[in-house]
Chains A and B, each alone.
Chain A
């Protein structure tokens, strides 16, 4: 149990394209999901907290108009990279916290590798 999926797993696009990444909790409900970004040979960095039915909370330095987050249901959060540029190329990972899970538990998706040409 406790599986989180992401789609797509990999995307290559031209500069200026908007890219949507989906994060789904497959067998549990998640009121809260998190989005991270990881550049090569670096650690994960939290970008934003996605709460079902309300606005996302962004970390300092993350542009909310650039990285649009929608958490429309208890099993789905989407991250849209608006007008992507080469510097947005990264590995994007989501995690989900079960609504009724053990305190402190988070389950991570497999990640989405975005390459902007």
Chain B
């Protein structure tokens, strides 16, 4: 599975757009990019998954450049409840066929 690098932590304010970038320089052709959110003492929650270009759902957008060596999770108009750890995972079929390898994640703190 490709190794990922993310910021350890980020701070922002309510109502702002937050972009978290993940580097995955050795991503393989079959690899998907998946983002999870985890609140304290809870299991991770799937946010979004993509392979290339741009993916958008009701909670976030995922931007993937042509070389796929990085990706950016975009959270529009964040609120205090978006304070959580965000994990970027890269793997075959999003890693779903096998157990997932979680990196350290990005601790996002939203302030009023």
Which residues of A line the B interface, CB within 8 A? 4, 6, 34, 36, 43-46, 48-49, 59, 91, 93-95, 97, 103-111, 113
Contact = CB atoms under 8 A, between A and B. Distances in A.
**B interface, how many residues as a size bin?**
20 to 34
A59 to B, nearest CB: 7
Contacts of B96: 97, 103-106
A113 B93 contact: no
B39 to A, nearest CB: 10
Contacts of A91: 41
B98 interface: yes
Interface secondary structure of A, over-half rule = strand
Majority SS at the chain B contact face: loop
A49 B42 CA distance: 20
Given A46-B101, A49-B99, A105-B96, A113 B41 contact: yes
B89 to A, nearest CB: 10
B86 to A, nearest CB: 12
B41 A104 contact: no
Given A34-B100, A43-B102, A44-B102, A106 B42 contact: no
